Amino acid sequence: MSLFLKANLPFEREFMFAGFLPVLKDVGLNFRLREGKYKIIIYMSDRRRQLHNVSEVPEDPEELKKYMNLYCGSLTMEIEVLNPDSDITNALEAHNQTEKTEAFGKEVFNIIAEVNNAIIYYLRNIAGQYWLEPFIFDPRNFQDYLDFKFNVRWCSSTGEWKRFNITREKSSYAIIHMPEDGINLEMWRKISSFIEEKKYKKIPDRKILISNSRQHLSQGNDRIAIIEAVIAWETTVKNLLPKILSKLRESPEIREVLKLLMRKNFFSLRIITYVGLRLIKNSLGLDIEDIIKINKAVLVRNSIVHGPTKVVEIPNARRYISAIRKVIRIFENQVA
């Protein structure tokens, strides 16, 4: 016996699909939570309502591949509760609110909130959609969230979808929340394991810093954007370059020079960037122009730190950050 729930996952800012939509359950996210007790499926149940920028989207998957900017405002989340407590199902059927239904409702609320923010965390920090921000939920007000934000319904024994009313007493509290790159099918499928295995708790700082940097840039905060991007680059150099050096087949002389540069007493981000990367650019497939841009970003960061009035033109900042992001991805691919 199972208990079925359905919820809507709204997003404060739209995120973007590229060339596909998860309109069928077989391409939805499928995973389990709470030691397998809850089976989750997330997909798009109503493309007309959940897409915000396209009125007529083709259903043919091949035709859909031509649409690279599909802005999505919400997703549908179905929850199957395996082997639910009979006291809870009986209370729901009888429209009774008990301590057990309230505790169950709080758990459902926590699951929905966790999944909602895990998806946002993935889209922002892994998929590069830096404009997204997680919600901050007030758990005291969980019934209102279940009713109005998530529109949670449960399926009765007659097959009717009913309001998920589980609290005995209702208190009202203020609802608080924090106010480029499309998601392809491969990235979409990875979200299930991202949530189920709690990989969002292990995202490297460099990815979060780059997302922060791009967000600052979108808001015109060029100085902070450059600072965070260069910190992301420095973190990448310290954490990934030693691993890359152990795999490169460069001459012993070049490897020794790079190892020397990586030592604490010799470490200089500028020298490693401008000199070190040139020594291994062919092995890694680096573009000399990207190396020059990253070196310039390091110089600009130093000027910002030491000169509060330093101004960076947004187009230049965008080029610097783009180069850092590109080379970081190359480093990540080398150690994957």
The residues, any chain, with a CB within 8 Å of residue 304's CB and separated by 6 or more, are 223, 226, 227, 310, 312
Residue 78, H or E segment = strand 70-82
**Rounded CA gap, 31 and 198, in Å?**
11
The residues, any chain, with a CB within 8 Å of residue 256's CB and separated by 6 or more, are none
Residue 38, token pair as written in the block: 């809850």
CATH architecture, range 205-335: Up-down Bundle (1.20)
pLDDT at 172: 46
Domain extent listing, the chain: 2-201, 205-335
DSSP sequence for 192-251: HHHHHTTGGGS--HHHHHHHHHHHHHHTT-HHHHHHHHHHHHHHHHHHHHHHHHTT----
**Rounded CA gap, 234 and 273, in Å?**
9
Residue 146 burial by CB count (10 A; 0-12/13-18/19+): exposed, middle or buried? Answer: buried
Do 44 and 50 form a contact (C-beta atoms < 8 A)? yes
Q: In the beta sheet, which residues pair with residue 16?
A: 71
pLDDT at 178: 32
What is the distance, to the nearest Å, from the Cα of residue 223 to the centroid of all Cα atoms in its chain?
Answer: 24
Per-residue pLDDT tens for 51-82?
Answer: 876 667 888 889 889 888 899 999 999 999 99
**Rounded CA gap, 177 and 132, in Å?**
12
**pLDDT tens, per residue, the chain with 336 residues:** 899 999 999 998 899 999 999 998 989 999 999 999 999 999 999 988 898 766 678 888 898 898 888 999 999 999 999 999 999 999 999 999 999 999 999 999 999 999 999 999 999 999 999 999 888 777 778 888 898 889 999 999 999 999 998 886 655 444 333 335 788 888 898 999 989 888 877 889 999 999 999 988 888 888 899 999 999 999 999 899 888 888 777 677 777 777 777 776 667 888 888 888 888 888 888 999 999 999 999 999 988 887 766 667 878 889 999 999 999 999 998 887
User: Helix H segments across the chain?
Assistant: 47-50, 61-64, 86-93, 99-125, 142-144, 185-196, 205-218, 222-245, 252-262, 269-271, 277-284, 288-306, 314-335
pLDDT at 135: 82
pLDDT at 176: 35
